[in-house]
């Protein structure tokens, strides 16, 4: 029985892993297709920086090359005409401000799903502009420290045109103007730093701390539930853990 039980556990774990992988690849595929569409239909990552960012993220997630190629070709064949970017705003429990970016072929379905989660969680679904003013759209580059010190990375980042820099343990996060993201990322790479992620990001102007553990747990669970939807690409909040 113990052997059978262990095998059943492995199968359950593998099933959960496959589901997570499927969700990830669905999101990445939509992001790649949308990047081609938003980049003027250009399927060459070297000539379409949005697509370059999406390809880098897909590769970092170990998405197979053929899946990446299929997602790009879907846009080239104009099959991406029905993929739209939709942005939602609102407040999670405890008044935490949120922006949700989605890529969907059915905005009505996606809106209904997200509104349902808001309603069930006691959150507040907002109108366009109700939250976005609390966030700044910027470029975000994450650097793995490796054997480099924070001061060494800071020096390179400053020379590369970074706007701000943040120490987050084993990594350093560098913020740039969106227009400078490509140039800064390339400069950091050429300097020998290990760029593990680069993307356009929404950074909150002011963060909100939720001190009550129960409330904090509900906020985190709400964000996790929203993020688990296939159509959701990114979830931003101004949550700061106390």
pLDDT tens digit string along 136-160? 999 999 999 988 999 999 999 999 9
Evaluate if residue 9 carries a pLDDT over 70.
no
| 203 touches 136 (CB < 8 A) | yes
pLDDT at 81: 57
Q: Which two tokens stand for residue 110?
A: 């996606």
- Identify the band that residue 242 occupies on the pLDDT scale cut at 50, 70 and 90: low
Lay out the sheet containing 84-91: strands in order across: 124-125, 84-91, 97-104, 232-237
First to last CA, the chain: 46
pLDDT at 134: 96
- What's the CA gap between 67 and 32, in Å, rounded? 10
- CA dihedral angle for residue 158, residue 186, residue 68, residue 63, rounded to 10 degrees: -50
Evaluate if residue 105 carries a pLDDT over 90.
no
- What's the CA gap between 30 and 106, in Å, rounded? 13
- Residues of the chain within CATH 3.30.70.980 domain(s) are 83-242
Assign domain 2-81 to its CATH superfamily: Integrase, N-terminal zinc-binding domain (1.10.10.200)
List phi, psi (to 5°) of 83.
-85, 120
- Residues of the chain within CATH 1.10.10.200 domain(s) are 2-81
Lowest pLDDT segment from 3-17, 156-170, 196-210: 3-17
Domain range 83-242, CATH class: alpha beta
């Amino acid at each position: 029985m113990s052997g059978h039980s262990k095998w059943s556990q492995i199968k359950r774990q593998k099933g959960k892993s496959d589901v997570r992988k499927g969700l990830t690849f669905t999101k990445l595929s939509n992001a790649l297709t949308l990047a081609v569409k938003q980049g003027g239909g250009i399927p060459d990552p070297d000539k379409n920086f949005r697509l370059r960012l999406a390809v880098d993220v897909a590769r970092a997630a170990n998405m197979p090359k053929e899946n990446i190629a299929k997602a790009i070709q879907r846009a080239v064949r104009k099959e991406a005409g029905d993929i739209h970017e939709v942005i939602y705003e609102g407040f999670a429990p405890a008044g935490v401000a949120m922006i949700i970016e989605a890529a969907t072929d059915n905005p009505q379905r996606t809106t209904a799903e997200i509104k349902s989660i808001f309603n069930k969680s006691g959150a507040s679904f907002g109108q366009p502009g109700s939250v976005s003013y609390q966030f700044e759209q910027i470029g975000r580059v994450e650097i793995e420290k490796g054997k480099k010190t924070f001061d060494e990375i800071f020096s390179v980042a400053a020379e590369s045109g970074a706007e701000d820099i943040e120490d987050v343990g084993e990594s350093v996060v560098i913020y740039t103007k969106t227009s400078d993201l490509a140039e800064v990322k390339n400069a950091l790479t050429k300097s020998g730093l290990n760029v593990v992620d680069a993307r356009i990001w929404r950074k909150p102007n002011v963060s909100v701390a939720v001190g009550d553990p129960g409330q904090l747990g509900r906020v985190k669970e709400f964000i996790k539930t929203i993020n688990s939807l296939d159509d959701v690409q990114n979830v931003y909040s101004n949550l700061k853990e106390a």
